[in-house]
Structure 1
Amino acid sequence: MNVRESGRIKWGRAAAALRARPLMDRELPAFETGAAPERPGELFVDWLERAGQADVLDAGAVVLSTVDTDGVPDARVVALRDVELGGGGWVFATDAESPKGTHLGERPVAAMTFYWPAQGRQVRVRGAVEPAPASVSAAEFLARSPASRVASLVGRQSERLDSWAEYDEAARAAEEQLAANADAVPPGHTVYVLWADEVEFWQGARDRRHVRLRYTRALGPDETWTRSLLWP
């Protein structure tokens, strides 16, 4: 009888390893919410810069969560490309034909989760997603490193790979394409903007008195935000 059938969980080695190293069991930064700016984008950029100063690895990596047509969530790590401070837009890019691009085409909403372990800080963002104009997507792609452009030109993201020889052949073809046309852009390459409706800033604490500040976009054309503390 498995766990699903019995309804019981048999705690094992993983549980013991996790209990041996409790989360947040270290000195962590304070979060003075009274000094927080009016817009969440400004606070986010401040925290992002502080993460860089603390030598947090891959601080621009973010878990992007989408939903398929059956309502089943999916998540993966992507690269944050920018933050639009005025309107509260978090910018990322992907191929419109990739699984996440397909999800966004069917259900244009998403959530982002940032976590910077060195500081015990988490930022959660959710809202509607829309594609940027094609010219913006092309410019973003052309600003990438050659290796990144080659990888995108290879395409076929998340499809089954039968052998690395197959990938190497496709990569060589992409390199030749880029050498022949430095301005080549994959037809599906798309920059997306997640326009936040809610943004939560979470600061962990050793005593579990975690500090949570939520920004909620107010209705109306003036792009104002309300702020509220949340119970830990």
Structure 2
Amino acid sequence: MQQVLRGLKSLAGPFQSFVIAAAPEQPLPLFQEWLQAAIDAGIAEAHAMTLSTVDEQGMPDARVLILKNLDEQGWYFATTRRSPKSKQVEATHKAALTFYWQPLGRQVRIRGEVIAASAQVCQSDFQERPVGSRAGALLGRQSDVLLNEQELINGLAQQRQRVEHDPTLANPDWVVYRVEAHEVEFWQGDTERNHVRLRYRRTESTNTGWIKERLWP
């Protein structure tokens, strides 16, 4: 397998240059620019990201999910309070996000505090989800051990009927979280491994609230 892996190409390029001198003073405008570039390039699920947390034993955990929104306050994702990710977030109130747009050779890493949105925001997000997604969330069995396939089928059908009968049905366990970043790193890959890395660190010592730092590849 080692030889197979060594035979696979990585960072083949060509990639756009990343001029740090032209980067804005805050990370959000640059992230929006890079995300839009990924969308314009036709990258599938450009809004997909890896959410990393730690469990009660301190063991890292990671999974890919969808960015729900972003604004000056942070990056948003949603889940059910019964899920492992929610329990881990509620225990530490910290998380990391990673975006990787392979065709562009670009990666963004975000670390920060996690804050739950208001009940109104959570329920509004739940109502906007497709019927099948709402049914799955109402079932509330994410990550439980599945012993009977028919139990899953019946449970989803039952919850779907509830949603179709009452489209305004709320889910008190649904929660939208915001990652309020204290560190955001932009990574532009280079075919010769001379990667360009720009890190923003939150600080109160500047008017912009951020410090920009060039990092070694």
Fold-level similarity (TM above 0.5): yes
Q: What's 1:130 paired with? A: 115
Instruction: Give 2:50's match in structure 1, choosing from 51, 63, 67.
Output: 63
Q: What is the distance in 2 between the residues matched to 1:223 and 1:191?
A: 27
What secondary structure does 1:92 align onto? strand
Quote how far apart the aligned CAs of 1:106 are. Answer: 0.8
Q: What's 1:91 paired with? A: 76
Q: What is the distance in 2 between the residues matched to 1:221 and 1:229?
A: 17
Structure 2: any 5+ residue segments left out of the alignment?
Answer: none
Any residues of structure 2 matched to 1:19-168 within 5 Å, and which? Answer: 19-84=6-71, 86-87=72-73, 89-168=74-153
Q: What is the distance in 2 between the residues matched to 1:140 and 1:204?
A: 35
Q: CA-atom RMSD, angstroms? A: 1.5
- Say if 1:220 and 1:143 are closer, same or farther in 2 by CA, change over 3 A: farther
Report the TM-score when normalising by structure 2: 0.95
Q: What's 2:183 paired with? A: 198
Quote how far apart the aligned CAs of 1:220 are. Answer: 6.7
Does residue 210 (structure 1) correspond to residue 172 (structure 2)? The answer is no
> Given that residues 13 and 105 in structure 2 are in contact (C-alpha distance below 8 angstroms), is that contact kept between their aligned partners in structure 1?
no
Q: What is the distance in 1 between the residues matched to 2:148 and 2:32?
A: 41
What secondary structure does 2:112 align onto? strand
What secondary structure does 2:108 align onto? strand
Q: What's 1:180 paired with? A: 165
Quote how far apart the aligned CAs of 1:33 are. Answer: 1.3
Quote how far apart the aligned CAs of 1:219 are. Answer: 2.5
What secondary structure does 1:97 align onto? coil
Deviations 1:50-107, CA, capped at 9 Å, x for gaps = 00111111111111001122211111111110111x23x0100111111010011111
Identity in percent: 40
Give the counterpart letter for 1:121 in structure 2: R
Q: What is the distance in 2 between the residues matched to 1:199 and 1:31?
A: 16
Give the counterpart letter for 1:180 in structure 2: H
What secondary structure does 1:216 align onto? strand
Deviations 1:7-45, CA, capped at 9 Å, x for gaps = xxxxxx1x2112112310221121111111121111111
> Given that residues 131 and 164 in structure 2 are in contact (C-alpha distance below 8 angstroms), is that contact kept between their aligned partners in structure 1?
no
Runs ≥4 residues deviating over 4 A: 220-223
What secondary structure does 2:191 align onto? coil
What secondary structure does 1:199 align onto? strand
Quote how far apart the aligned CAs of 1:222 are. Answer: 6.2
Report the TM-score when normalising by structure 1: 0.89
